[in-house]
Structure 1
């Protein structure tokens, strides 16, 4: 019985401490038109430039929705760091938040103009303004502080 209780306590302690230290939330880069468009040349260049934001940190996980534009935005980062791209359902962000919270270290998430601010708000538990459909250069960083997250809204310099 003592071993069972000790095992349960260790499992609970591991789950309590599991949470990313830093979460990067990006909207996909500039896209072409169509129902599931690919990135434009400008978008492909921006996706490659995202590597410049990771000079000191190495992601442990890269997530993307299953659309061409988000996968193509995440691909340069995933390939550079030798990570698979894990896909998520943007229609169930509450469930996806639980998946993200089980990660450790640095997590990168690529989403959309509507889902990226919504996910930032869910994780940081603060109001986040909507992202215009024409805005591709803003991103969010969530830093773990105590039991919660501090949200920073940043603009890319490229």
Structure 2
């Protein structure tokens, strides 16, 4: 009753009552770019992978990125380093061990720290798939990103507790012939 009376008073006096919209958090998931063929256990990027990393920078030009997260894998670090440099950001590192609870905790922490902002998360296809699922994305969006391989990007928008909306970013990466 008191709430109704208060709202009626506000409306009668011409005061606008605005509903606050929930914040949108954008998470840009990036599969690490193509790795070089090497006997190394942790290879870097191939020439094509370096081109893919450069294309990532071009594709995200003008996007206000608040944080860039990456695993310690050379190919993941080398994929997002040019992006970090172009946005004058430092890389934030995380480590996964296959434990779903740890993965969930890491994703929730990243989202909580960056609520209402845009972040980039880069890792190898196996880990990126687990991270995307922990962000609430289900179905073919996850499978498509994993199956397409290197340098694929999925943009996920989370609004409050609603179901995340995922969209694959087409970077138009073409190999030189």
Which residue number corresponds to residue 6 of structure 2? Answer: none
- Equivalent residues in 2 for 1:110-129 (5 A)? 110-127=122-139, 128-129=142-143
Distance 1:94 1:28 in 2: 20
Runs of 4+ more than 3 Å apart: none
Which residue number corresponds to residue 111 of structure 2? Answer: 101
User: Alignment length, in residue pairs?
Assistant: 141
Distance 2:122 2:137 in 1: 19
Summarize the Cα distance change of 1:116–1:19 in structure 2 as closer, same or farther, 3 Å threshold: farther
**Residue 107 (structure 1) shift:** 0.2
- Equivalent residues in 2 for 1:4-83 (5 A)? 21-32=25-36, 33=38, 34-83=40-89
Superposed CA RMSD:
2.2
Do 1:124 and 1:150's aligned partners in 2 also have CA atoms closer than 8 Å? no
Using structure 1 for the length normalisation, give the TM-score.
0.79
Using structure 2 for the length normalisation, give the TM-score.
0.71
**Residue 136 (structure 1) shift:** 1.4
Distance 1:37 1:55 in 2: 27
Say which one has the larger Rg: 2
In structure 2, the gaps of 5 or more residues are: 1-21
In structure 1, the gaps of 5 or more residues are: 1-17
Do 2:137 and 2:166's aligned partners in 1 also have CA atoms closer than 8 Å? no
Which residue number corresponds to residue 158 of structure 2? Answer: 144
**Residue 146 (structure 1) shift:** 4.0
Query: In structure 1, the residue corresponding to 2:72 is in which secondary structure?
Result: coil
Distance 1:64 1:78 in 2: 11
